[in-house]
Structure 1
Amino acid sequence: MNLFYNKESVGDVAFLQIEPTTGEFTYETKGNVVEIHQGNQVVGYNIFDASNVSSISGNGHVQLNETLINELQQAIKNAGFSFELETDLSPKLVVGYVANKEKHPNADKLSVLNVDVATEKLQIVCGAPNVEAGQKVVVAKVGAVMPNGMVIKDAELRGVASSGMICSMKELNLPNAPQEKGIMVLSDDYKVGQAFFEE
């Protein structure tokens, strides 16, 4: 679940994305809340006058927290909708350990990695030339919103499932990022599973 807000450019509207999706949508409006459907699935909400019903602030992607979720849930219920918001508030950009690297069976320049992020092990397909087993790296888990606005989703790359992305400095929008292709390799001081960007 992702939340976007830009009062100056768009107005006082909270855009709540429950499922990243594209295609034909239908809309149901009650009061200041618009429920967005794809088929019979609720995929998002637009909540108008958002600053009157929540403590929302910021510009662009807004970090969700328990207070904000409760406020938005109340606004949705007050409008007459029954949908229950559920979200994982754990960090989505975390330190991972590349436990294993194998050649992709269908692509010369891709590798299939087994990456430990402490809470789970992820299979991630990666095209970086400098990735190796034994490295600590920055992992964008499924649901992460990258600085450029891209949302990380489960994917299949050349027939192999991939859950997440190993990040470069450029993708993380870090200063002095090198121009050449390659993931960011971290020092041993980082702890596997810790949030890369501390709150």
Structure 2
Amino acid sequence: MNLFYNKEAVGDVAFLQINPAEGNYNYVMQGDIVEIQLDGEVVGYNIFNASNQTSISGNGHIKLTETLVSEFQKAIEAAGFNYRLDVDFSPKFVVGYVETKDKHPDADKLSVLSVDVATEKLQIVCGASNIDAGQKVVVAKVGAVMPSGMVIKDAELRGVASSGMICSMKELDLPNAPQEKGIMVLSDDYTVGQSFFEE
């Protein structure tokens, strides 16, 4: 679930994206809340007068907190909707360990990786030339919002499923990121599964 808010540029509206989706949306407005539906499924909410109903502040992509989710839930219910917000607060940028690296069957420059992130093993397709088995890396899990605003989703790359992304310093917008391409390889001091950023 992603939250965008920019009071100065857009107005006092919180944009709550539940599922990234594209198509012909249906909009149902009740009070200050607009429920956005696609094929009968709720994919998001626009909450008008958001600062009067919640403690939201800041500009751009806003980090969801348990307090904000609770406030949004109350506003949604008060408007007469019965949708239940279900938010995963687990860290989205974690330390992963590349267990195996195999050649992509249909693309010379892509590798298919099995990456342990402690809670699960992820299959990730990666194009970095410096990726290898035995490395600790930063994994952007599905649902992560990159500094660029891109949301990480389950995908297929040349016919192979990929759940997450191995990150470079540049993609993470870290200071002193090298200009040459390549993923960020971590030292052994990092623990598999730990949050990469302070949460």
Length-normalised TM-score, structure 1: 0.98
User: 1:196 and 1:9 mapped to 2: Cα distance?
Assistant: 31
Which residue matches 1:117?
Answer: 117
Percent identity between matched residues is 76
User: 2:9 and 2:193 mapped to 1: Cα distance?
Assistant: 36
User: 1:81 and 1:183 mapped to 2: Cα distance?
Assistant: 44
Which 5+ residue runs of structure 2 have no aligned equivalent? none
Which residue matches 2:157?
Answer: 157
Alignment pair present for 1:169 and 2:185? no
Which residue matches 2:87?
Answer: 87
User: 1:160 and 1:44 mapped to 2: Cα distance?
Assistant: 29
Instruction: Say which SS state the counterpart of residue 70 (structure 2) adopts.
Output: helix
User: 1:65 and 1:96 mapped to 2: Cα distance?
Assistant: 24
Which residue matches 2:51?
Answer: 51
User: 2:148 and 2:128 mapped to 1: Cα distance?
Assistant: 19
- Aligned partner of 1:58: which letter? G
Offset, 1:66:
1.1
Offset, 1:11:
1.1
**CA RMSD across the alignment:** 0.7
Which residue matches 2:36?
Answer: 36
- Aligned partner of 1:75: which letter? A
Which residue matches 2:143?
Answer: 143
Length-normalised TM-score, structure 2: 0.98
User: 1:198 and 1:162 mapped to 2: Cα distance?
Assistant: 26
- Aligned partner of 1:126: which letter? C
Aligned residues: 199
User: 1:3 and 1:66 mapped to 2: Cα distance?
Assistant: 13
Alignment pair present for 1:12 and 2:22? no
Instruction: Say which SS state the counterpart of residue 102 (structure 1) adopts.
Output: strand
Which residue matches 1:196?
Answer: 196
Which residue matches 1:78?
Answer: 78
Which range moves more in the overlay, 104-113 or 172-181? 172-181
User: 2:19 and 2:6 mapped to 1: Cα distance?
Assistant: 20
Which residue matches 1:180?
Answer: 180
Instruction: Say which SS state the counterpart of residue 170 (structure 2) adopts.
Output: coil
User: 2:196 and 2:48 mapped to 1: Cα distance?
Assistant: 33
Offset, 1:76:
0.2
- Aligned partner of 1:136: which letter? K
- Aligned partner of 1:128: which letter? A
Offset, 1:107:
0.6
Instruction: Spell out structure 1 runs of 4+ moving beyond 6 A.
Output: none
Which residue matches 2:131?
Answer: 131
Offset, 1:126:
0.1
User: 1:22 and 1:178 mapped to 2: Cα distance?
Assistant: 35
User: 1:173 and 1:24 mapped to 2: Cα distance?
Assistant: 34
Offset, 1:129:
0.2
Give CA-to-partner distance per residue, 1:107-140, whole Å, 9 cap, x none: 1000000000010000000000000011110000
